[in-house]
Structure 1
């Protein structure tokens, strides 16, 4: 069976700076794959290449058996790819439920009918409310995102991504900037993601990485240094020297 996501020798340069170097790995249904490495290793650039934010100089990105290397972001979303960002990109003044409804409208190709009342689509309204409940946000349905804590904004981003019904979810440092007190809610949300969803997470919180991931890819100076189970990565002397320490 084809992997949900496959990278084949993906490469990116910015002038004389070689940011990602011949990166290859795969993500299967149900995988919880963590991408780790020191700052400047090329992790976020690689996720940008996967999602279509920046083009690759060489190599291929395959999504659900199709070569999407030259496709723009929107086309990759329609192929089942969704992502969150290291810094939140929410509309600050819009109520939470309205933002989720807008994502559902976009998914269903109803943006051209945005003049119609949301009440005209009771199934989408019900789905938005279900997503609010799933991520513990129902009490904030009518609240503008700028009035919510940062941890709750991270949950909204995950709800928006899941509104697209992805097969592959890319999470770029979901714990970045989140106070310790909100971390448990995010962990619960991660644990509750659909079991058949393929998840690729970039994260510096090693406790989360080793708790969440069933596979880990270590990136160093743009290249794959090691790949394996959490136990394999813990014991790998190259990874300890480059990133984890003793």
Structure 2
């Protein structure tokens, strides 16, 4: 197997609160892994540790065979990791296509050349347009993100993450705040992600989880309660008692 991300006994405390407890699992190329659990289980804290927003108190994080435990967020992005957040972090007044183009400039290490017009780089413009087409956003290329529906803003966040050409992408509650009518568009976008990409998604929408994931990790009280296929998780009495119910 081509292991892209591996967590080894990851721990995090905030004072006397033990938020993640010895979390270990691996993510392989092509995995569609859902991280689920009750509120307060430690899911977002764990993703913040993986992405470098939070340091870990102990344990190791390996990305594509490299120990990235002590690396900054930016270094982890350059190593092949991208993520989205629970709350959108888009520049509200920027045109959609310009935001994608800036992500491409960052990926190519060209931000020092922004004294030239982005229009001077037609190949990057064409790639930005292709990304927008893939996510059904081409008609909104010139629109400011603040003028778009919230579901479309979530699609832009995914497009920005994919513009970095990551090997691993972390999606933190992509359905949060999205109207039901836009849910199918987001699910279609998830289904269209490159097959070799490893995806970890935090999501409370169990319909989306069981339609999207080929593997589920359940956190409870900061520790891994179960790790298996969707069918295994459905049948696990511990998971039903702690989270899914009867």
TM-score normalised over the length of structure 2: 0.99
Mapped partners of 2:55, 2:13: distance in 1 = 10
Q: Is the 8 A contact 2:2 2:29 kept in 1?
A: no
Mapped partners of 1:152, 1:48: distance in 2 = 24
**Partner in structure 2 of residue 199 of structure 1:** 199
TM superposition shift of 1:120: 1.5
TM superposition shift of 1:119: 1.7
The yes-or-no answer on 1:226 pairing with 2:219 is no
Deviations 1:129-180 (A, max 9, x none): 0001000000000000000000000000000000000000100000000000
Mapped partners of 1:239, 1:119: distance in 2 = 53
The 5 Å alignment of 1:124-163 reads 124-163=124-163
Mapped partners of 1:155, 1:2: distance in 2 = 28
**Partner in structure 2 of residue 11 of structure 1:** 11
The 5 Å alignment of 1:1-246 reads 1-246=1-246
Q: How many residues align?
A: 246
Q: Which runs of 5+ in 1 are unaligned?
A: none
Mapped partners of 1:4, 1:244: distance in 2 = 29
Mapped partners of 1:118, 1:145: distance in 2 = 19
Mapped partners of 1:103, 1:119: distance in 2 = 15
Mapped partners of 2:216, 2:106: distance in 1 = 33
TM superposition shift of 1:112: 0.8
TM superposition shift of 1:118: 1.1
Mapped partners of 1:195, 1:187: distance in 2 = 15
TM superposition shift of 1:220: 0.3
Q: Is the 8 A contact 1:2 1:65 kept in 2?
A: no
TM-score normalised over the length of structure 1: 0.99
RMSD in angstroms over aligned alpha carbons?
Answer: 0.6
Mapped partners of 1:121, 1:145: distance in 2 = 23
TM superposition shift of 1:2: 4.8
Report runs of 4+ in structure 1 exceeding 2 Å deviation. Answer: none
Q: State the secondary structure of the residue aligned to 2:3.
A: coil
Q: Is the 8 A contact 2:80 2:168 kept in 1?
A: yes
Q: Which runs of 5+ in 2 are unaligned?
A: none
Mapped partners of 2:93, 2:192: distance in 1 = 28
Q: Is the 8 A contact 2:92 2:145 kept in 1?
A: yes
